[in-house]
Structure 1
Amino acid sequence: MFDDRSPIYRQIAERIKADILSETLKGDEQVMSTTQYAAFYRINPATAAKAFQHLVDEGVLYKKRGIGMFVSPDARDALRTERRRSFFTDVVDPMVAEARTIGIPLDDVIRRIEELKA
């Protein structure tokens, strides 16, 4: 599950965000405890705790004292808004730049997108 490209706590946070976006985890649903997460993935509990705290700080998760961590009710909408904001900068702009670099006319790119739409 984990690779060397980014810190494990960030990979955990991204996995949980992906689960929320795909609705594997839904608003107000309880997530595994940091201890359970650490045991399941065989990682240091402090690493899992750091990931969960990061998600709490972002408003993706919230804590219920003595009960555990839960998905914020509006987490999916907030994550979708965040991803939509960065989509053109992170995906489309580099794609257009690469197409220009290798000599693909933008009309061909648009045509391909239209084909995929159908």
Structure 2
Amino acid sequence: MQTWDHKLPIYQQLADQLAAQLLDGDPAEGQPLPSVRALASRYMINPLTVSRALQALGDEGLVETRRGLGIYVRPGARERLRSVERERFLNDEWPQLRARLRRLGITAEQLKWGDN
């Protein structure tokens, strides 16, 4: 069951979660997203909240509505999203993470970058 954080609106959290799935290639560019009704049922939230999340993704140019067909991932969405997320990570998250690593005395050699 999905747990929502009270710090952000649910629609934004859902949009962020759907964007993360898009970044992972699910669904692929040119493919449809699940319907509003299916997403509302899956996450047990109001369809209007789902619609607002999808609108946020549309406003970012990641998805498009095709009348009578549904909502589809736009070509280039994954790379556009990756670029925005990289920039956000490097400017916002990395400096904080780097400072925390320094405070904890963790060196680059101690970090494991592989899957093992």
TM-score by length of structure 1 reads: 0.82
Deviations 1:32-60 (A, max 9, x none): 12122113322111101100111111111
Deviation at 1:94, TM superposition (A): 0.7
1:31 aligned to which of 30, 33, 40: 33
CA distance in 1, matches of 2:104, 2:27: 43
Is the Cα–Cα contact under 8 Å of residues 9 and 48 in structure 1 kept in the other structure?
A: yes
Q: Deviations over 1:45-104 (max 9, x none)?
A: 11011001111111111010111100111111011111111222233211232244x362
> Number of matched residues?
112
2:76 aligned residue: 74
CA distance in 1, matches of 2:88, 2:28: 23
2:99 aligns with 97
Percent of aligned positions that are identical: 31
Aligned equivalent of 2:110, options 103, 109, 112: 112
Q: TM-score, normalised by structure 2?
A: 0.83
For residues 75 and 100 of structure 2, the distance between their equivalents in structure 1, rounded to whole angstroms, comes to 39
Tell me the distance in 2 between the aligned counterparts of 1:8 and 1:103. Answer: 34
Alignment of 1:5-84 (within 5 A): 5-84=7-86
Structure 2, unmatched stretches of 5+, are: none
Q: Which has the higher helix share?
A: 1
8 A Cα contact 1:19 1:25, kept in partner: yes
Once superposed, what is the RMSD of the aligned Cα atoms? 1.8
Equivalent position SS for 1:16: helix
1:24 deviation in Å?
Answer: 2.1
Higher Rg: 1
